[in-house]
Amino acid sequence: MMCEGDKVYDAPGDCPVCGMDLVPLEMNEDEEQSNYLRLLKKLKIALFFTVPIFVVAMSDMLSDNPLYKIMPQSAWNWVQFLLSIPVVFYACFILFKRAYASLITRNLNMFTLVGIGAGAAWLYSVIALFFPNLLSATGEVHLYFESATVILTLVMLGQVMEAKAHQKTHSAIKELMQLAPKKALRVSGDVEQEVDLSEIKIGDVLKVKPGEKIPVDGEIIEGSSHIDESMITGEPIPVDKVLGDEVSQGTINGNKTFLMKAKRVGHDTLLAGIIQMVNDASRSRAPIQRLADKVSAYFVPIVVGVAVITFIVWFLFSQEHPWTNAFVNAIAVLIIACPCALGLATPMSIMVGIGKGAQRGILIKKAEALEKLKTINLVLIDKTGTITEGKPSVEELVAVEGVKKIDMLQLINSLNQNSEHPLAKATLKFGRERHVSALPVQNYESITGKGVVGEVQNQSVALGNEALMESVGAKDNHNLYAQAEKFINQGATVSYLAVDQEILAFIVISDKIKENSAQALKALNQKGIKVIMLSGDSLGTVKAVAKKVGLTDFKAEMLPKDKLEEVKKYQAQGYKVAMAGDGMNDAPALAQSDVGIAMGTGTDVAIESADITLVKGDLQGILSARLLSEKVLKNIKENLFFALVYNTLGVPVAAGILYPFFGILLSPMIAALAMSFSSVSVIANALRLRNAKI
């Protein structure tokens, strides 16, 4: 369990430091609903007893009070006292517990003011009821049971509304949680068995029929279909999926049956990751939120001081009822200054913004990233899988005269058989289509940024770029470098195959540029954001791709450490750097950057290292995330402005500054109503983000 700060505890309850509710690290719909219903029940009880108290108290303003015909005022005073007990000691007692915790830990907050104000009003009324002559020579003292109970009930109303708003901001996540089917059809030989999702293990073969939801993340091993991924990517057009393509839990199968192999189950699926990521993000704190916390920390002691001064001034200078006037106005100051709105201003906007992002396939891991994104002025972008689709395919295999292409392909796939690299997968798929088998490999070694080497049937074999060929001493005796040049200039990737230090073949692999990459990169430039492409590919390939997408700044043949150094270099120059990538080799740079942006189509390592994940893997998502950041920060500033202006104006009025000129005073009850209205306005303003266009 964790509080609204960064502290984590083992058991549920209230935070021992700030008194706030502890929230589960893995919040689910039932827990949120339970929390809301618990608060709602207490609010109903508070209302049930507060309304009669309010009616009795307000009836005193009538010239011919009908209630006094039933029984005298003194008896009604006792009725108010008895009715107030369930409100103070049960329905709203949680507010006093939080106030007590804040005082003990010296972490003053809005509950400090509410607890002191409402508690003092109730205690004053009890003393006045039991010992009236202590406060007045005549024994006639006005009671404030209605102020105490109305204040507490209004604050509880604010808590219920906050819980409800929190529930609403997670509506998209709740829908995602319901996407996963309860059952799946597991296939073992000729036997098909319907099993619970919890029974599915990695490697299980599952059958998915037309119209069914996909049970877990996996890979199609037989058949093909159209998959509706709109619930995760936000893209309404169904995606064609064929043999070897991956499918995600919760997406909906089209009109064909296919077999899939389970690759990720339980909490490891993309869907589960989305849910957890949004939950974590909504409970993380942005720097601007910490600023609001600091303001509150200074604000509360100042307000308590103003309340004390108000009490002293009214007691010394009030002509009539000095005790009562001093007491009532001091309480009004405490109540109207309650920084509920200030406390809600930032977290409400962030929660709604993160929920909005999730609906659009923008998963924000940390609230801090949402704030930093607006300041980004440099984006470093990986090529493969980020600008391009990351689904490379083999265009051509070129071999020297007298060498069989099928033999060269067998050597290539022998080296690639255990690799997860996209280029390796492309050659393996190319080989499977031609029924090429892989041979055993000895002394296998993967050389980062260059390629792979090993021994196949007692032959020394190397597969990779020119740098690898040079490092293993391979000779280009057949002028293959020159032949490969035309493919490289078209943006394709070329991997050379050397056998016993002689280059005998090369394989041409192309990766289609994503449909809107050029448009998105142009839009980033128009916003004044510098864009540089970083790639481990050859200079010729990178240059060709850069030309196609309209980029003039690019760097090729970069190792993971080179990308990391680039991020550090530009940060040292004063740039606010975002890194966008999808591969394991991008992970160090993603972690180092001010904002790391991972493609949802990329590797788990990249996604874990990033602050933001674009589920659709679309560069347009960077623009949408930036726009969301701008709208959320604007909303936060609006909320902080309203909250601070309200408190700045409200405290002097409650202290009685207008009384000498206009005879205006605020009762504690009216102050509580105004305080609650400010909180409601902040919540309403934050919820406007749900309809924002990004």
Residue ranges covered by each domain of the chain = 29-173+278-354+631-691, 181-268, 362-389+513-615, 393-510
Per the DSSP assignment, residues forming a β-bridge with 459 are 456
Q: Which residue has the higher pLDDT, 677 or 597?
A: 597
> What does the pLDDT read at residue 530?
95
pLDDT at 261 exceeding the cut of 80 = yes
pLDDT at 415 exceeding the cut of 80 = yes
**Given pLDDT bands bounded at 50, 70 and 90, which one contains residue 112?**
confident
pLDDT at 273 exceeding the cut of 80 = no
* pLDDT tens for each residue of 489-505: 888 889 999 999 999 99
> What does the pLDDT read at residue 219?
94
pLDDT at 673 exceeding the cut of 70 = no
**Given pLDDT bands bounded at 50, 70 and 90, which one contains residue 81?**
very high
Residue range 641-668: average pLDDT? 78
Task: Quickly count: other Cβ atoms within 10 Å of residue 498's Cβ.
Answer: 26
pLDDT at 403 exceeding the cut of 80 = yes
- The top-scoring range by mean pLDDT among 19-23, 167-171, 468-472 is 468-472
Residue range 300-326: average pLDDT? 85
> What does the pLDDT read at residue 342?
66
pLDDT at 297 exceeding the cut of 90 = no
> What does the pLDDT read at residue 586?
78
* pLDDT tens for each residue of 543-578: 989 999 999 999 988 877 888 899 999 999 999 999
Residue range 458-487: average pLDDT? 93
SS (H, E, C) 115-149: HHHHHHHHHHHHHHHHCHHHCCCCCCCCCCHHHHH
- If you classify domain 393-510 with CATH, what class do you get? alpha beta
Task: Quickly count: other Cβ atoms within 10 Å of residue 125's Cβ.
Answer: 23
> What does the pLDDT read at residue 6?
47
* 8 Å CB contact between 209 and 192: no
Q: Which residue has the higher pLDDT, 460 or 640?
A: 460
Residue range 225-244: average pLDDT? 73
Task: Quickly count: other Cβ atoms within 10 Å of residue 242's Cβ.
Answer: 10
> What does the pLDDT read at residue 322?
82
> What does the pLDDT read at residue 174?
62
Separation in Å, CA 348 to CA 4, 76, 299, 661: 12, 42, 20, 39
pLDDT at 585 exceeding the cut of 60 = yes
> What does the pLDDT read at residue 622?
92
Residue with token string 């006037």? 325
**Given pLDDT bands bounded at 50, 70 and 90, which one contains residue 4?**
very low
- 362-389+513-615: CATH, from 3.40.50.1100, 2.130.10.10, 3.40.50.1000, 3.30.499.10: 3.40.50.1000
Q: How far apart are CA 173 and CA 28, in angstroms?
A: 9
> What does the pLDDT read at residue 441?
93
**Given pLDDT bands bounded at 50, 70 and 90, which one contains residue 332?**
confident
> What does the pLDDT read at residue 604?
62
- The top-scoring range by mean pLDDT among 247-256, 359-368, 435-444, 631-640 is 435-444
Instruction: Report the mean per-residue pLDDT for the chain.
Output: 83
**Given pLDDT bands bounded at 50, 70 and 90, which one contains residue 584?**
low
**Given pLDDT bands bounded at 50, 70 and 90, which one contains residue 203?**
very high
Q: Which residue has the higher pLDDT, 419 or 577?
A: 577
User: Which residues are known to be catalytic?
Assistant: 382
Task: Quickly count: other Cβ atoms within 10 Å of residue 394's Cβ.
Answer: 21
**Given pLDDT bands bounded at 50, 70 and 90, which one contains residue 473?**
very high
Q: Which residue has the higher pLDDT, 199 or 270?
A: 199
Collapse the DSSP code of 365 into the 3-class scheme (helix H, G, I; strand E, B; otherwise coil) and give the result: coil
pTM of this structure: 0.61
Tell me whether domains 181-268 and 362-389+513-615 share a fold.
Answer: no
Q: How far from each other are the two terminal CA atoms of the chain, in whole angstroms? A: 33
Q: How far apart are CA 326 and CA 654, in angstroms?
A: 11
Alpha helix positions (H), 436-554: 466-471, 480-489, 517-526, 539-549
Record the tokens describing residue 306, joined without a space: 């103003």
Strands 362-364 and 612-614: antiparallel
pLDDT at 26 exceeding the cut of 60 = no
pLDDT at 607 exceeding the cut of 80 = no
Residue range 392-396: average pLDDT? 90
pLDDT at 83 exceeding the cut of 80 = yes
DSSP conformational letter for 388:
B
Q: How far apart are CA 567 and CA 593, in angstroms?
A: 6
pLDDT at 525 exceeding the cut of 70 = yes
Q: How far apart are CA 473 and CA 501, in angstroms?
A: 6
- The top-scoring range by mean pLDDT among 27-36, 107-116, 168-177, 247-256 is 247-256
Check whether domain 181-268 has CATH 2.70.150.10, yes or no: yes
* 8 Å CB contact between 281 and 365: yes
pLDDT at 460 exceeding the cut of 90 = yes
Instruction: Using only the alpha carbons of the chain, give its radius of gyration.
Output: 34
- The top-scoring range by mean pLDDT among 54-58, 252-256, 297-301, 504-508 is 504-508
Residue range 72-80: average pLDDT? 90
pLDDT at 529 exceeding the cut of 70 = yes
> What does the pLDDT read at residue 211?
86
